[in-house]
Structure 1
Amino acid sequence: MRASRLVTLLLLLQNRGRMTAEQLAGELEVSVRTVYRDVQALAAAGIPLYGDAGHAGGYRLVDGYRTRLTGLTADEAQAAFLAALPGAAAELGLGGALAAAQLKLRAALPAGLREQAGRIQERFLLDAPGWYGDADDTPHLAGVAAAVWARRAVVLRYRRWRAPEEVERRVEPYGLVLKAGRWYLVAAGSAGLRTYRVDQIIGLREQDEEFVVPDGFDLGAYWADYLDDFRARLHTGEALVRLTPEGARRLGVAPAAGGGRTEARVPIESVDHAHGEFLRLGTDVEVLEPAELRDRIAATVRALAARYTA
């Protein structure tokens, strides 16, 4: 356990530069006293690190020192190769960089871990896009990514679903998210933080203006909150339905005792959306409420019956 913590402490200093004992303790979830002992242990092992006193002090490694990655555990090495998404890297113009990084990582690993990493790539493939539909056309992804990296404002020409269908906005791009094969831009504008589908960006002009992301902004936390809000807005109504045992199974509803029909209230996004979803269940569902949805499904069934009878 301590050996793993020492390696983590070393990599933190290597990647972040100067860090205080309090910052290291927070990252490692240990006491400041434990950090002092760990730093002494690293120094005794010949690691060239030193500490500065004072308000702006902290621990840091001697400039130019880099450690080889022999501290990786088997699970960590496997995760590093499993986590790579070559398709996403290629879209961002980083395909060659990813390949080079993996070669360097593989070369730095001990023989046993190198063999395990190779088996991971032979047996597992991460394919981010959804099963149906072609990949989104994102001609401006590289430009958006460059602006995110450089912290430069951009003017977007954006296509949306409501009028006016095309809008132009100046935004400050905070980060990019890849969700189920689709890229999203999180950016701040005059209306606050917004999320934009990158495939709906039809024009992009980078501005000669740098910006600073507010302290405390966390892209992962923002995205989690965005998804929670999206799900809350997704199901704004409910329907009362009567289900066969098969219908209950397909909707994830507990079936009635004895194998009879089950009445249940289920969330729906809208009447239009529920109309199509419930038709997929055929005779395994009967909509009782709302009346508008029941009437819509009944009219569709009558039209289908007339067509097939004719």
Structure 2
Amino acid sequence: MRASRLLSILLLLQTRGRATAQELADELEVSVRTIYRDVESLSAAGVPLYGEPGHDGGYRLLDGFRTRLTGLTTDEAESLVLTGLPAAAAELGLGAVVAAAQLKLMAALPAELRDRAERITGRFHLDAPAWYRGADRTPHLTEVADAVWNNCVVRMRYLRWAEPHETTRIVQPYGLVLKAGHWYLVAGAAERIRTYRISRIVDLHVLDERFTRPAGFDLAAYWQAYLEQFDARRHRGEAIIRLSAQVLDRLPHLVEPAVAQAALRTAGTPDADGWTRVTIPIESADQALPELLKLGADAEVLAPAELRERLTTTLDALNRIYGTA
């Protein structure tokens, strides 16, 4: 652990040019006293390191000195894809590993390229969760990730939407997907590939049994196909509605993309009042009701009759609450 910290100090100074003891202590999460001892050890080992007093002082390496001890460990090399996703890396239990890999990469770059890389880091930030929603609580994520890395079979208790809600599954974890702040496990189960939302895992045990990943399995391609099939499965019905010109223009900002695209694709010629008849996909009357209520008086449901009746009943109830005698 101490050897790793000494190397980190060396790489930090090589990357930044100057750093105070307090800055190094904060970066490495140790005390300032520990940094003093580490600097003495580096100097004793022949590293040309010196300190400058004053407000703009700190530790520096002698000009021209560069260490070549920048080789990546196996874990660091595997984590390179996550160097631009620090929050995701931390959730996976790889925060320290990713930080070490990134530091070694920066130290290995020439000064000009290092400055450009740091400029991008300071000007681009990825925030995965959707607006007005927090990320899922995922207490089993680290265990799942470990099973994915090591091809270990897992047994889990899982809460699903259908009855029975709680079920026990033994699965082969193929990969992890982060979608809009939510983590998903893609796994083989009963000769099928299934997708599980990790926040709905109640309990999980990593078994001693190992598995072999399917040859040619492409996680990104599977996920894209899953999303397309997901929309097709959940949109089991259609609704015919009339939309005012005002809401039709704003539809992509009010409803999900699949609904907005279907509406614009099926839009006919506006009637004498400027309203347009469109056909949109829906999951059910229960799901469509709150979505269409968002459109207010700029939308009228024509079919199916069940959905129109549900809207009428809801509007009557609202009128009883807010209406006048």
Tell whether the structures are fold-level matches, with TM greater than 0.5.
yes
Which deviates more from structure 2 when the two are superposed, residues 204-213 or residues 185-194? 185-194
- 1:296 is aligned to 2:319: no
Would you say the 8 A contact 2:188–2:194 is kept in 1?
yes
Match of 1:39 in 2: none
Cα deviation for residue 97 of structure 1 reads 1.2
- Distance in 2, matches of 1:277 and 1:136, equals 23
Match of 1:193 in 2: 193
- Distance in 2, matches of 1:258 and 1:287, equals 18
Match of 2:276 in 1: 262
Secondary structure (helix, strand or coil) at the match of 1:116 reads helix
Match of 1:90 in 2: 90
Secondary structure (helix, strand or coil) at the match of 1:286 reads strand
Would you say the 8 A contact 1:159–1:165 is kept in 2?
yes
Match of 1:232 in 2: 232
Match of 2:187, as an amino acid?
Answer: A
Q: Per-residue CA shift, 1:242-288, capped at 9, x if unaligned?
A: 11101211334357388711111122222111111111111100111
Match of 1:221 in 2: 221
Query: What pairs with 1:61-210 in structure 2 (closer than 5 Å)?
Result: 84-210=84-210
- Distance in 2, matches of 1:155 and 1:181, equals 24
- Distance in 2, matches of 1:195 and 1:172, equals 11
Would you say the 8 A contact 2:152–2:209 is kept in 1?
yes
Would you say the 8 A contact 1:175–1:219 is kept in 2?
yes
- Distance in 2, matches of 1:186 and 1:106, equals 33
Cα deviation for residue 191 of structure 1 reads 5.0
Would you say the 8 A contact 1:86–1:98 is kept in 2?
yes
Cα deviation for residue 187 of structure 1 reads 1.0
- Distance in 1, matches of 2:82 and 2:191, equals 38
Which deviates more from structure 2 when the two are superposed, residues 215-224 or residues 90-99? 215-224
Distance 1:306 1:258, change over 3 A: closer
Distance 1:242 1:87, change over 3 A: same
Would you say the 8 A contact 1:81–1:121 is kept in 2?
no
Cα deviation for residue 197 of structure 1 reads 0.7
Unaligned runs of 5+ in 2: 1-68, 73-79, 252-259
Match of 2:295, as an amino acid?
Answer: L
- Distance in 2, matches of 1:283 and 1:83, equals 48
Query: What pairs with 1:19-30 in structure 2 (closer than 5 Å)?
Result: none
Match of 1:291, as an amino acid?
Answer: A
- Distance in 2, matches of 1:82 and 1:147, equals 18
Match of 2:141, as an amino acid?
Answer: L
How many residues align? The count is: 235
- Distance in 1, matches of 2:190 and 2:119, equals 50
Cα deviation for residue 110 of structure 1 reads 2.1
Match of 2:321 in 1: 307
- Distance in 2, matches of 1:83 and 1:279, equals 43
- 1:287 is aligned to 2:301: yes
- Distance in 1, matches of 2:311 and 2:128, equals 35
Match of 1:90, as an amino acid?
Answer: A
Unaligned runs of 5+ in 1: 1-65, 70-79
Q: State the TM-score, normalized to the length of structure 2.
A: 0.67
Q: Per-residue CA shift, 1:104-159, capped at 9, x if unaligned?
A: 11112222221111111211110111222322111111111111111111111111
Runs of 4+ residues over 2 Å off in structure 1: 66-69, 80-83, 250-259
RMSD: 2.4
Distance 1:138 1:115, change over 3 A: same
